[in-house]
Structure 1
Amino acid sequence: MKKTVFFLIALIITSTFNFYGQKTLHKKSKFRTQNSELKIEPTYWWTGMNNPTLQVMIYGKDVANSEVSINNPGVSIAEKKLTDNPNYLFLYLNIEDAKAGTFKIELKNGRKKKIVKYELKERIPNSANRESFSEKDNVYLIMPDRFVNGNPLNDNVKGYVQGADRSSLDFRQGGDIEGMIQKIPYLADLGITALWTTPLLENKADAYSYHHYSCSDYYKIDPRLGTNDDYLRLSKIARQYGIKLIIDIVPNHCGSGHWWMQDIPAKDWFNTWNSFTPSNYRMTAWTDPHRSEADLKRLTKGWFSNTQPDFNLSNKLVFDYLTQAYIFWIERAEIAGIRVDTYPYNDIQVASNFVQTIRNEYPKMNVVGECWVKTPAEIAYYQSGNNNKDGFDSRLQSVMDFVLKDKLSEVFNEKEGWETGTAKFYNHFAQDFVYPNTDLIMNFVDNHDIDRYSTSVKGDVKKYKMGLAILVASRGYPQIYYGTEIMLDGIPGDYQGHRFTFPGGWKDDKRDAFT
């Protein structure tokens, strides 16, 4: 995700918080589960998964001191893992021979005993082999808060600071899952065959919560967008219209509003510094043979922003927790594809393992990665199957063509010349020899992080149409950002300016572009 100069300055001057520091001490827990019960994640799981081992995180006061036992045929404790925080307990359960149903986990601490009931559901037959997106698809990208307000009753939810407020694009607008469901027929009429939504998980931030890239609960759809069941309903209805659903996953960071931040699971759960240190956003460090290791460390361990704590995925507990969380949603919502946010901001070897761990459960699932680099050779480095000198394989079947996006913004605004104008398209596509599979390159003219294409061509309809013609006719497959089909306007160089609401998505809109 592109950083503006203003944003970088804001990060540098931001006040530091104690959880940035290397010597962070665990706070006295302020988190309380409902009815003072233990918090268990995943909330449930399935039998018949490829990986027979399940990590179960249990959170509660001094739970690490408990003796744990399970008396159930087919379920056994393979390992009990503790951290330096006594309020967390991680169990690794062997469920290879387990049958669907509920079993009991007994926690005994002195004279006190608690029984936790845990459910294993039966996996849907052939779930592992679901069809994924491919070069045959037309992908439509929606930022749900900005598309359609289908359920005004969830605009403001008790316990959440931000509710819908259309006085400024800095605030939530009220779009939701119900709104997307209502417009599935519209998308089908456009010829859309795959739907990528920006994240839907809870984002309990005090500001800019609408984008949902700062998760605060990995097992809960944000109630201002809908419910867990709504997500499944979206998937099922979309599939009835021949549209696959793509999940946006964020392995690099969570949000500072996550309940963990009240009682961090372990001192090495996040990458920490003596004071707040943002990433340098220099993704070329991975392919630069002359790179400084300090640059690489700053890229991967610096925080994406001051409100997005950076995960230490080298910690196996973190790695297992997050991979399971996303597998949960793929299984729960019958997801058909994956988009990985900020892939090179992670240790890419760990990120590769992260993706492969998920694909072990869904071997036919395609994954597209956001690798925002500026040459075809660098982009190709991140496509799985590339013959990289260092032997690295990203496990990303698909990559996003950020270079073509730049050319589309330049070509029609300059005079024809030997290296200018449409010659740039020729020179760009001539570099396709660096890719192992050009069919699985995602092409786009705009998205939620960059200027609307309408502003790139300064509102010129003829230039706009030529750009879209290149988009849909190029090798690979197109990604169309909501509103691009109606030449939706924007404000250049401004995040919120890329994210206008879709006309007709709100009852009081003067224009309805859906009709």
Structure 2
Amino acid sequence: MKRTFVLMTLLALLGLQHTVSASIIKKVAPSFWWADMKNPELQILLYGDNISSSDVSISSKDILLKDVVKQENPNYLILYMDLSEAAPQTFQITLKQGKKQTVVPYEIKQRKAAASKVEGFNAGDVLYLIMPDRFANGNPSNDVVPGMLEAKVDRNDPFARHGGDLAGIENNLDYLSNLGVTAIWLNPIQENDMKEGSYHGYAITDYYQVDRRLGSNEEFCKLVEQAHSKGMKVVMDMIFNHCGSENYLFKDMPSKDWFNFKGNYTQTSYKTASVQDIHASDYERKIAVDGWFTESMPDLNQRNRHVASYLIQSSIWWIEYAGINGIRQDTHPYADFDMMSQWCKAVTDEYPDFNIVGETWLNSNVLVSFWQKDSKLAAPRNSNLRTVMDFPLMEQMNKAFDEETTDWNGGLYRLYDYLTQDLVYADPMNLLVFLDNHDTSRFYLNEEATQNTERYKQALVFLLTTRGIPQIYYGTEILMAADKANGDGLLRCDFPGGWKNDPRNCFNEANRTPQQNEAFAYMQKLLQWRKGNEIIAKGGLKHFAPNKGIYVYERKYGNKSITVLMNGTDKTQTLDLAPYKEVLPATSAHDVLTDENINLDKDLTLPGRGILILEF
């Protein structure tokens, strides 16, 4: 008897599950937690064969087992615990069925010092968006993992896995730091054990596990640590609206109300404007929000309190565990508004400076503004979502730099006109601004065509000097090109040089074309200048309607300012500077782009598509 007790104790200390002819626990989510969190409640989801009839007890004296919730499916138990008085410890959860029992050791860890003081991303940052499978392959040994459903790598197939991984990103952190980005946003890295199309990551099959073909949980923590050591933040992509159909929570549902339409595939309309449409029918709202994104992505029911707790905890677990600086939430308006609001508040209550950006793919600034924290349009409800994605501005930018600007329409007037409407936003500085991403045509459409590099340069200057938080899609710095009409897979091409036998390594200056090096150097100059620049990070925006096709705007913080002048025509234009004296506080200024001193006495001549960034 004494030997049995010693053996049980030893197994518990080793973190192993001990059973006495009882059911095997297949999943414990989360697998551990922390003491001294601001929210003392912990939900533990247990999954194993026929465990719901168990009597549950815990060995800890300072943890309160508040509730044991059974589901329709006998293979689940959901435990709610109060950790208000809990010290760091490992305790035992005992499931007893008659004379049979299962003992599950559970660890409450000590929080790291200042864990709640995570620094979130903000308008002083530039996010560099990476699809991990397509960026660089640092560890070919994890390309194929035995037992996973998509078991091949085929770089000739744009919809197959290509083998990029976390090690590949880590190997190129110096490249990114040298370029001047201050944060990396990774498309989803959590397990996507799907039969096909798993490369993009948006069909999660385990919310607590890094996909093994990308690396391990420990490797992700190391990547975050290394990025931080080089002055870069890390933003993690998350998906609460849906999961993958191979997720155990769907294949063996705790209950049918874990998923919308009781787990039966019902296609969404994608018309999420119905959420804030005052004229929308109940049917339109329901089918938009509760409908499934695709058949392989079952729609989670966030109105189920257990689902809500599961999702909220999963995000807090990654922040605490890996030390990430932000989350980009996929398909934000497709999920339940109230639950998503609760989630945003729970995260920022725990980590006050942390930032979340929601994917708000809507076709007007009015619709997008509804989703931002403190929006008057959503009142009295509040999304608590600090940052939203400015898709309408992306559309305007993809047209503006191709057109001739007049003083009343087209070209740069589009940008002026759009920004005059910023009063709809509760906080224009907390908008994510971008030229393209993994779901849109690349800004540079055809790398083989002769494109006007001035278009690229004007777009970058505007992106990196206007209000908001800029995001750059990987490869933009070397003019990677793709049109969405040719399929999403091609929008997510491999970065040349990310694989050992690539014919060209564009991480290396010597292997880039002269045009690519010109583009890289131009972006690098802007990014390095922008880094730590409080005028851009915190300054106000003042602009003038285009005159002779020239758009003029100022960013000002305290007694420092920069003024941008951009010629939206192909002709040389001479501008009388008298109307602009309020944003030209001196008779000369330093031009960031050329490092020359510019005389501002009376008139200023700008060549066709010319740009000045004047520092005062």
TM-score by length of 2: 0.76
Moved more, 64-73 or 454-463: 454-463
- 1:432 has 2:446 as partner: no
Which of 251, 257, 268 pairs up with 2:246? 257
**Contact in 1 for aligned 2:117/2:351 (Cα 8 Å):** yes
| 1:73 maps to 2:61 | yes
In 2, Cα distance between equivalents of 1:85 and 1:466: 58
Matched residue, 1:206: 195
8 A Cα contact 2:32 2:108, kept in partner: yes
Which residue of 483, 486, 492 maps to 2:484? 492
Matches of 2:263 and 2:119, distance apart in 1:
46
Alignment partner of 1:236: what SS?
helix
Rg larger in 1 or in 2? Answer: 2
> Cα distance, 1:468 vs. partner?
1.6
Alignment of 1:225-374 (within 5 A): 225-272=214-261, 276-374=265-363
Match of 1:512 among 505, 519, 527: 505
Distance 1:342 1:89 in 2: 29
2:433 to 431, 440, 443: 443
Matches of 1:414 and 1:376, distance apart in 2: 22
* Separation of aligned partners in 2, 1:108 and 1:274: 31
State the Cα deviation string for residues 482-514 of structure 1 (Å, max 9, x = none). 001111021332211211110110111111111
> Are the aligned partners of 2:24 and 2:49 in contact in 1 as well (CA < 8 Å)?
no
State the one-letter code of the partner of 1:492.
K
Looking at structure 2, the residues matched to 106 and 276 of structure 1 have their Cα atoms a distance apart, in angstroms, of 37
Structure richer in strand, relative to its length: 2
**Higher relative contact order (Cα pairs below 8 Å, separated by 6+ residues):** 1
In the TM superposition, residue 86 of structure 1 has moved relative to its aligned partner by 1.0
Distance 1:254 1:261 in 2: 8
Pairwise CA distance, 1:392: 2.3
CA deviation after TM superposition for structure 1 residue 264, in Å: 0.9
Pairwise CA distance, 1:194:
1.0
State the 1:274 CA deviation.
8.9
Separation in 2, partners of 1:510, 1:468: 28
Supply the AA of the counterpart residue of 1:70.
Answer: I
Question: In the alignment, which of 366, 380, 404 is matched to residue 369 of structure 2?
Answer: 380
Aligned partners of 2:136 and 2:495 also within 8 Å: yes
Aligned to 1:61: 49
Amino acid of the structure 1 residue aligned with 2:216: T
Structure 2 counterpart of 1:125, one-letter code: A
Cα distance, 1:273–1:86 mapped onto 2, change above 3 Å? closer
Report whether the alignment pairs 1:191 with 2:180.
Answer: yes
Q: Partner amino acid for 2:79?
A: L
Deviations 1:312-343 (A, max 9, x none): 11111111111111111111111111111111
The answer on whether the counterparts of 2:289 and 2:336 sit within 8 Å (CA) in structure 1 is yes
Match of 2:472 among 474, 480, 486: 480
Superposed CA deviations along residues 163-212 of structure 1, whole A, max 9, x for unmatched, are 32112111011000001111111111111111110110000111100011
Note the C-alpha offset of 1:53: 1.1
Q: Give the secondary-structure state (helix, strand or coil) at the position aligned to 1:49.
A: coil
State how far apart, in whole Å, the 1-side matches of 2:476 and 2:118 are: 29
**Structure 2 spans left out of the alignment, 5+ residues:** 1-22, 509-616
Q: Aligned AA for 1:491?
A: D
How far, CA to CA, are the matches of 2:493 and 2:429 in structure 1?
31
How far the C-alpha of 1:106 sits from its partner, in A, is: 1.1
**3-state SS in 1 of match to 2:102:** strand
Q: Which stretch shifts more, 137-146 or 279-288?
A: 279-288
TM-fit CA distance, 1:273: 6.0
What TM-score, normalized by structure 1, do the two folds share?
A: 0.91
Q: Hey, what's the Cα distance between the residues in 2 that align with 1:504 and 1:277?
A: 42
Q: Is the 1:138–1:193 contact (alpha carbons within 8 Å) kept by the matching residues of 2?
A: yes
Whether the 8 Å contact between 2:92 and 2:106 is mirrored in structure 1 is: yes
The residue type equivalent to 1:51 in the other structure is: N
Superposed displacement of residue 151, structure 1: 0.5
- What is residue 27 of structure 1 aligned with on the other side? none
CA distance in 2, matches of 1:201, 1:376: 32
How many angstroms apart in 2 are the aligned matches of 1:274 and 1:120?
Answer: 34
Q: CA–CA distance in 1 between the matches of 2:330 and 2:257? A: 22
Residue 405 of structure 1: CA displacement?
A: 0.6
| 2:391 aligned partner | 402
Equivalent residue for 2:112, pick from 97, 117, 124 = 124
1: CA distance between counterparts of 2:376 and 2:251? 45
Correspondence 1:135 to 2:123: yes
Q: Distance in 1 between matches of 2:204 and 2:183?
A: 24
d(CA) in 1 for partners of 2:280, 2:251: 37
What is the letter of the counterpart of residue 411 of structure 2? G
Q: Distance in 2 between matches of 1:260 and 1:160?
A: 17
Q: 2:129–2:473: 8 Å Cα contact kept in structure 1? A: yes
Report the counterpart of residue 31 of structure 2 in structure 1: 43
Q: How many residues align?
A: 481
- SS of the residue aligned with 1:379? helix
Q: Distance in 2 between matches of 1:212 and 1:492?
A: 19
Q: Using the aligned pairs only, state the percent identity.
A: 39
Q: Superposition pairs for residues 89-168 of structure 1, below 5 Å? A: 89-162=77-150, 163-168=152-157
1:250-306, Cα deviation, whole Å (9 max, x unpaired): 110100111223311111110026963211111211221111111100011000111
Aligned partner of 1:72: which letter? S
- The 8 Å contact of residues 454 and 460 in structure 1, kept in 2 or not, is answered as no
Distance 1:290 1:113 in 2: 57
1:411-422 equivalent positions in 2, closer than 5 A: 411-417=400-406, 418-422=408-412
For residue 456 of structure 1, report the CA deviation from its aligned partner. Answer: 8.0
Contact 1:380 1:434 (C-alpha < 8 Å) held by counterparts: yes
SS at match of 2:107: strand
Q: Summarize the alignment of residues 21-40 of structure 1 with structure 2, pairs less than 5 Å apart.
A: 36-40=24-28
* Aligned AA (1:346): A
Classify 1:276/1:37 alpha carbon distance in 2 versus 1 (closer, same or farther; 3 Å). closer
Q: What CA deviation, in whole Å up to 9, does each residue of 1:18-48 have, x standing for no partner?
A: xxxxxxxxxxxxxxxxx94442111111111
Please report how far the alpha carbon of residue 109 of structure 1 lies from its aligned counterpart in structure 2 after TM superposition: 0.4
Residues in 1 aligned to 2:175 and 2:412: alpha-carbon distance in whole angstroms? 33
The reply on whether 1:501 has 2:504 as its aligned counterpart is: no
* Cα-to-partner distance string for 1:431-468 (whole Å, 9 max, x where unaligned): 11211212111110010000011018974322122212
CA contact (8 A) 2:149 2:194 kept: yes
- Which has the larger displacement, 452-461 or 238-247? 452-461
State the Cα RMSD in Å. 1.6
User: For residues 232-253 of structure 1, what are the alpha-carbon distances to aligned partners after superposition, in whole Å with 9 as ceiling and x for unaligned?
Assistant: 0011000001101111111101
